[in-house]
Structures are given as C-alpha cells and as structure tokens.
Amino acid sequence: MSDNRAAQGEPDIADVASAFADPRRARVLMALADGRALPAGRLAEEAGVSASTISSHLSVLSRHDLVAVEQQGRHRYYRLATSDVEGVLEALARLAPRTPITSLRAHTRAHAVRTGRTCYRHLAGQVGVDLFQRFVGAGWITGGDGLHHPEVTGDRLSSTGKGDQYRLSVAGAEALSAWGIESRLMSTSRPLRYCVDWTEQAHHLAGPLGTAITERLFDLGWIVRNRVPRSVDITSEGEARLASLAPPASSPIEASTSRVDNRLAGDHQVPSAVSFRRR
C-alpha cells in the first residue's frame, strides 16, 4: 500500500534560525525570555522600531511558532510559544559574544541586569547569587559552597550546572514551606538544579524550585520588575527580609568584580559595589 504523505527530510534548521538572526527580532525574544506576555507597543520599544515595523517582525516570529498571541479584550499580548524556545535562547546566549556598551542607556541596562534579573524564570544576578549564598549559609542548601569550580565540575559560565552535589535540607524545606512554596517541589533527596551566573561567576538556584521561589518573591512583593527587560528591583521589604537570613556563606562577588565589569562594559566602568536598588 502506498504512502501518500510527502517524504520528510532533515529538519530545516536554517529556516527557523533566520527568524532568530534579525537583531530586532532577537531583542523581542529576549524581552519575552522571563515568561511575561507583552503588548506590541512595548516590544516595539525594546526592538527600537516603529509600531508598524514591529507588526511584521511579530508575524515572522508567529509564523515560525516562536511566539504565541493572547487576546485580552481588544488587546493582544505576545509571549514565547514554548519552553523549547526558551531553551534555544539560553543555548544561543551561551554562544553569543557580548555587545559593547557605547551609551549611558546601555550602561544603565547592563548595571540593572547585573544587579538582579530573571534567568529563564529563576532569579539571577547579584540578588540571585546572594540568595543562594544565604541559603547555603543558613544550612537550607547543603553539599557545596555556591562558588564556580570549573576544574571540578566542568561547568561553563552562563550554563546549567553539571554537578549533583546540592540538596535541600529538612530545615530548608520547612523554611521554604513557611514562605508558601509547595511541598511537592521540596524533595530533600533529589539533587537541586543550579546555573553558573555569567555576571557573578557563582551559582544561583534553577529548576522547578528556583522558579517557584522567584514567583513567590514576586507574589510577596519582595522583588518587582522594572523597565529593563528581565531585570528586577528588590523592594525595601524584600531587602529587609532577605537580609534577616543567615549571612552569605561565601563572597564570590568581590573576587569576580573586575573580570565581570570588563566583560560588561569594555572601556566603560560599571559600579562594582553590591547595592540593591530599592523601590
């Protein structure tokens, strides 16, 4: 019996890659990388194009199943279509060179991203690394010091960690339960996922637990989003609450500051002090 279906060859990677390749569309995708749904006007602002131009770019992204549209009344909001798109963005970000900083606006954005940001729905930057260090210091996370040891783990910067050394302690599970984190996410036997933070060159919490904690911090009002894509501010209440935890187990920030500032700013100087911007 003959098969009337067209023969299927190799995946056409170049076709979908072309949708990522335009710098304006790339900025749209990165603006959506924290899981939010944003209107076309905001995405036009992020891409640096007019409202009429962003429409054609969103059409390309939709046609390649990279973004999905949500209709809310008369308004349309765009978000990343699947977690696969997030994964591709994360992989490309690891391979991509850093763009040079040539303006005050770019300097401000770089500093905001370093201070605190969402890294594919978990908390990163100085805020994320500090939180991980405080969990280690409090004994809520055991099995490591939260620092980047590539010679031991083989981890690369801006990548998901390969090690399986971290575990949530019983005390950590109880404390996070009091924060309102679901118990099903808090196994004390399974390894915790972590990422190597590219700006701080240390670990921040990843995986389902990292996502749940980040969402809970937003719900509690301890962190809030700001205008810079993916970046977050810590609120006065959040700073007080997090400062009341155990002191950080280690201080990776000072050791990596000069290297990171050079990567972020080239010849432009970025403030290196660890100071959370409050609202």
Same domain, 130 and 251: yes
For the chain, what percent of residues have pLDDT higher than 70?
81
What's 74's domain CATH number? 1.10.10.10
pTM exceeding the 0.85 threshold for the entire prediction: no
**Measured distance CA(144)–CA(47) in Å, rounded:** 40
- Number of separate domains in the chain: 2
Same domain, 64 and 117: no
Single-letter amino acid code for the residue at 126: Q
Nearest by Cα to 157 from 28, 242, 264: 264
Rounded to the nearest integer, the mean pLDDT of the chain is 81
> Does any domain span residue 147?
yes
Residue 25 has pLDDT above 90, yes or no: yes
Same domain, 166 and 260: yes
Same domain, 162 and 235: yes
Q: Are 231 and 115 in contact (CB under 8 A)?
A: yes
pLDDT digits (tens, 9 = 90+) for 29-81: 988 887 778 889 888 988 889 988 999 999 999 999 999 998 888 888 999 99
Give the model's pLDDT for residue 38: 86
Whole domain around residue 70: which residue ranges? Answer: 13-82
pLDDT digits (tens, 9 = 90+) for 128-153: 999 999 999 999 999 999 998 887 88
Residue 276 has pLDDT above 90, yes or no: no
> Does any domain span residue 232?
yes
Same domain, 45 and 145: no
- 51 vs 44, 77, 275, CA distance in Å? 6, 14, 36
Residue 279 has pLDDT above 90, yes or no: no
Same domain, 116 and 56: no
> Does any domain span residue 90?
no
Same domain, 23 and 150: no
pLDDT digits (tens, 9 = 90+) for 219-269: 999 999 887 777 888 899 999 998 898 888 776 544 443 333 443 344 333
The pairing of strands 67-72 and 159-160 is unpaired
